[in-house]
Every structure is written in structure tokens, then in C-alpha cells.
Amino acid sequence: MKIKDAKNDRFQQTTVEEWEKAVLKSLKGKELDTLHTQTFEKIILKPLYNLDSEKDEVPVPGKPPYTRGIYENGYQHHPLKICQVATGSNIKGTILEALENGQNTISFDVNKMGSEELIKLLNDLPIEDYPLFLQAGSGNRQEIIMEKLAEVNGLSDQQGAVVRDLITEWAERGSIPTKENNALSDWFHYIKNWNLSSPTIKTILVNSRPYHEAGADAVKEIAYSLSLGAHYVFEGMQAGLSAQETAEKIIFSFSIDSSFFMQIAKLRAARKLWFAVGKSYGQENNFKMDIHAQTSLRNKTGFDHYVNLLRSTNEALAAVIGNCQYLTVIPFDQLQREKSSLGKRLARNIPHILREESMLMKTADPGGGSYYLEALTDELCQQAWDQFIKLEKKGGILSELKKGQIQGELTELAKNRLSAVAIRKEKMVGTNVYANPKEERPDLAQNLIETQSIQKSEKEIFPLKPIRLASEFEAIRSMNLTWGNEMEQRQRIIVIGLGSVSQSKPYIDLSKEVLAAGGLSYTERTGIVNQEMLEEIIRGCQGSYFLICGDENHLNTPLSNLKVDSNMHIYAVGNFDLAIKEFNWKKIDRHTNMIDLLTILSSRQGVKA
């Protein structure tokens, strides 16, 4: 074949039907839907997507409905704002060091600072040279910062955000002012004035992160965000701002977890639906969603915390491909009592790597052209819009928070997520799989979320309760490593391998993996080839737990003749259908609820999990 012929040659077109036929042949009798996966959003993920998977035409970036981003050229003319939150005793020094090393946005924890300390810090920082991203919580900190910015020359064109989300603050705190309408109208009175003094500074936050951390899936995060945004637009119009002016003051904040494509699609769908909300106000081109993305805390672990670095990198990549405007990466040791400078530096460098080495900033829409991503975005849009409409018909998000309906929904979702981790449907490296048995107990920070007393002028509601997926495993493991006696554990937990080592090894490895996840030590006995050897071990260790691994057919003598006390605590790890039926042995496999099992094994050591 000549070069000219090769250029004109094409691969033979393959139809979906031909592909399905080939797949069915490889599945050897199984149905094609065995390759389908259901997400927490109840969206079915398929193994193949094509042009027919797209329901709607997708415009170019920077054009309505802004699915592919709000800027035509992506990050090329509007650089990603890296806003690592400075904390600690020397916030000024931390910020200046970060700016020297490539951070391009000033961000620090406002809520632990007094008024004088806050003003002094603002005086000492180059706020005229860098945009701000400050989340001001309760009190008058937002007012203090905005008044200070109004005094600074040269800030008229400065971009940035000094924001708060009043409704979500109430939901986190578990209390709402008795005169909630007055509180909102007073806040929007300030926002209207700030729109005149600092027109380019965003002042309203739609913060979906607390809902995410409480267990929400992508559909609910979008629906809650749209309802919050719509409520704030309404309040702005009541205060005398137009829908466009209010929308331009809003920044949306999302947590990004490790479900990579779902998180990219979440940001795309949120932008598209916010545009749809704008159409109802006659603002078809002005509802452009500015997005702040932060790596999730829900899936971070205290044990084996370097794995968090992999999680955060994956999440930051998803956020950038999803075209966020602001990015915060949580340090890998965020859960530790003592945070390291290494953790802060690596968190700050992740966006640099994505920008300078991955070249994501050179592409207007890095996710463009993926049929899978477009189909997932369409599915999220449909489900989230339906939930948003239902929420609005019930009175909106504030009404449902006051009733406790949203908190109830999130509690059920949180239970489902924790259950998925417990049965290892959701795998967490270093926690429920591949736990390091030699790792010592980490010194974790306590009370990550501070509680606040309810004032007389407030009424109590159910608060949003954040979860961490690894928390139940970490509680059991920490208690065993702290109070458990290793020698006693070895005497009480016996792992027994039937048959040759090679025959029992896969099942012994599973047992070790389970025990390591709970920080439990054990004694291992292998090469058990007959009934007498097994009886001798069990009778010699009264009061112990036995994890018998392998296959009942690996014994030279029938297991049905085994003579041991029926009250012995015996677990079968492997193929023991006869023993499970006749002796009532409990089965351990890769779908066992490990939290329930480890709680039982730990309680025998005098440790209450």
C-alpha cells in the first residue's frame, strides 16, 4: 500500500449491534446489562456511548446554555484562581509565601479572627494586586471586609469574592432567626450598597458543600443549589436589585469527590440549569454560573493519609475539566491534629501541575467530545431539574430545611453511603481494602466543625450533619490500637488455613485484609489437612474466634464428622456450604458487613466499638 492510498484508507465501520454481539460472546451466557453500573444518583452507567447517546445539541464554550463553560477560550484569558485557605498562627506569612510560590488569589479563614485582627491583616496584605476569595460566616465580618475594600484605591476593577450563604449557615448551625425575613432583607440591603461601592466583588455564596458533606449526591447538590440561587435572586429583587444584578453577585461552591466523570458532569449540568433558571427571569444571557470547587472532605481518611493526595489530585483534575473558576485543594493531612507544611505545599502545587504540565488551561473545554460525558450531563440535568421543580413547589429550600425534610433525605443518603463502605461495595484504599496492619494510630483533630449556642432570637431546626466515609472503620481501628492487647488478640483470633498453603492463601489473605481494617492481631495456623488437627486447635483455644479459610474438601476426612462445641465462634472464609448449613458457621466473603463483624471481634477484646 502506498502512502497516498493509506491516507485515504478508513477502518471498517462497526455498528452498535455488532459490538453488542461480540461482547455477549465474551460474557459466555451473561446478559449485557451485567456490565451496567448504578450510581448513588440511580443513574445507569453503560459500557458504550456513541453519538446517539446525546439528547441535546451542545453549543461551543462561552455560549448559552454554558454547559461547556462560561468563557469562550476557557482559562486562556480568565486564569484559574487558586485559593488555598491560609490558617494557623502566622496567616500573613502563610499568604505571602503562597503568593510568592504561584498562588494567585488571597484566601484565609476569616471566621476565627476578631475585627481588629482582621482589619490589620487586610492592611498588611497586597489586596490591590490580587483577587480575594473569602468566605465570611456569622457576625459582621463581611461588612468589615467590604467597608475596608471600599477605602482602598485601585480596587474598582478588581475581581474577587467576599461571600456568605446565610441560609446554609443556619442549616449548619441548626437554628434560624425568628425573624428570618428581616435577617435576609437586612443582608440584601448591604449587598445593594456594596454593589455600588465594589461592583466587581461577588458577595453572595450558594454553598452546596455542607449538603455534599452530609451525604448528598450530585443530583441533590444541583437541585439544592438552584433553589438557593433562585431564593437569593428573589430576595435581591425585593431589595431593589434586578435579577441580573443579583445573579452577578452570586458564586456557587461545590465539593468534588472521587467519582471522576460524575463530578465533571455535575459542574456542566449545574451551569446549564442555572441558565434555564435565568430564562424564567427573562435573562437568557446573564445567568453565567461562577463556580468555586473544593476537594471533598467526605472521602478523606485519617489512616494512610497519603492516599488523600491521590484522591485530591483526581478531584482537582475533575474540577478543572469541569471548568470551575476558583479551586481549593484540601491538604492530604487536613484531618491530622498537626498540619504539615508539606501538605499545604503539595495542595497548592496540584493546580500548578494541572496548569503547567497537563496543559488543561490551553483547551477551552478539555471534556468536550466525550459522548459519555454528554450523556451523563443530560441525565443529571433531567433528574436535578425535576427535583428542583418539586422543591420549589413545596416552598423552596428554606421551607424544607425548616421542616427537616432535607435533613431527613440526607440522613438516609448518608446511611446508604456508610453501608456501601461497610460491605466494600465502595472501596477505600487504606481503610476497607489494603489497610496497613503496621500503621500506628494517627493523631486526628477533634471537633472539626464547631458547635454554636442557639440565641434567644433564634428557633432550633435539625442541623446538617457531615459524615466521613471512613469514620466507622477508623473508630474501631483506633480503639483496638489504643486499648487492645496485641497478645490477647493473638490468643483470641485464630486464622486457620485448610489444605496446602497455596490452597488456603486467597482466603487467608481475605481474612487478614478484614482484620487489618479493624487494627486486630491474630494467630495464623496453616497446613490443616484433617478433622483431628482442626478439632485440636479449636478445643485448645476456648473462647476464641476462628476464621477457617479454604475449602471443606481440602480435608482428608469429611468435615461432617467434626466434633466441637456448637457455641464456638466460627467463621467460614471460602467454600463451606456443608459447615454453614450443619454447624451454623457464619460466612465471611467480600460482601460481608465489615463494621458489624469488626465490632463483634473487637468487643471480645474488651474494646467497645
- DSSP notation for 99-139: HHTT--SB-B--TT--HHHHHHHHHHS-TTTS-EEEE--SS
439 CB burial (10 A radius; 0-12, 13-18, 19+): middle
Q: Summarize the confidence of residues 289-298 as an average pLDDT.
A: 98
Give the residue, 57 or 145, on which the prediction is more confident.
Answer: 145
Indicate the pTM of the whole model: 0.93
418 vs 1 pLDDT, higher one: 418
All cell numbers assigned to 175: 437554628
Residues 6 or more apart in contact with residue 197 via CB below 8 angstroms:
146, 149, 150
Return the ∠ at Cα 71 (arms to 68 and 72), rounded to 5°.
85
CA atoms of 11 and 499, how far apart (whole Å): 53
Question: pLDDT tens digits for 185-227?
Answer: 999 999 999 999 899 999 999 999 999 999 999 999 999 999 9
Write the pLDDT tens digit of every residue in 416-461: 999 999 999 999 999 999 999 999 999 998 764 454 555 656 799 9
Q: Which of 216-220, 310-314, 564-568 has the lowest mean pLDDT?
A: 564-568
What would the mean pLDDT of 537-559 be, rounded to a whole number?
88
User: What's the confidence (pLDDT) of residue 88?
Assistant: 86
Model confidence at 246, in pLDDT bands (50, 70, 90)?
very high
Kindly state the average pLDDT of the residues 589-594: 93
Question: Quick one: DSSP state of residue 442?
Answer: P
Residue 606 pLDDT class (50, 70, 90 cuts)? very low
Q: Which residues contact 416 (CB under 8 A, 6 or more apart)?
A: 40, 215
Mean pLDDT value across the chain: 91
pLDDT of 604 over the 60 cut = no
- Dump pLDDT digits (tens) for 171-184: 999 999 999 999 99
Mean pLDDT of 153-160: 70
Min mean pLDDT across 51-60, 166-175, 292-301, 397-406 is at: 51-60
What span, in angstroms and rounded, lies between the C-alpha atoms of 139 and 120?
18
> Which H or E element spans position 254?
strand 250-256
* 436 residue type, one letter: N
- Residue 576 near residue 555, CB atoms below 8 Å: no
At position 432, the amino acid (one-letter code) is: N
What pLDDT does residue 137 have?
84
Nearest to 579 by CA among 558, 559, 598, 553: 559
User: CA-CA distance, 520 to 489, in Å (whole number)?
Assistant: 7
Q: What percent of the chain stands above pLDDT 70?
A: 93
Q: Tell me, what's the pLDDT at 609?
A: 45
| Residue pLDDT, tens place only, 358-394 | 989 899 999 998 999 999 999 999 999 999 999 999 9
Closest CA relative to residue 381, chosen from 274, 260, 248, 250: 274
Cell numbers linked to 298? 467526605
Ordered by where they begin, the domains of the chain are 66-409 (3.20.20.240), 477-603 (3.40.50.280)
pLDDT, mean of residues 28-57: 84
pLDDT at residue number 154: 64
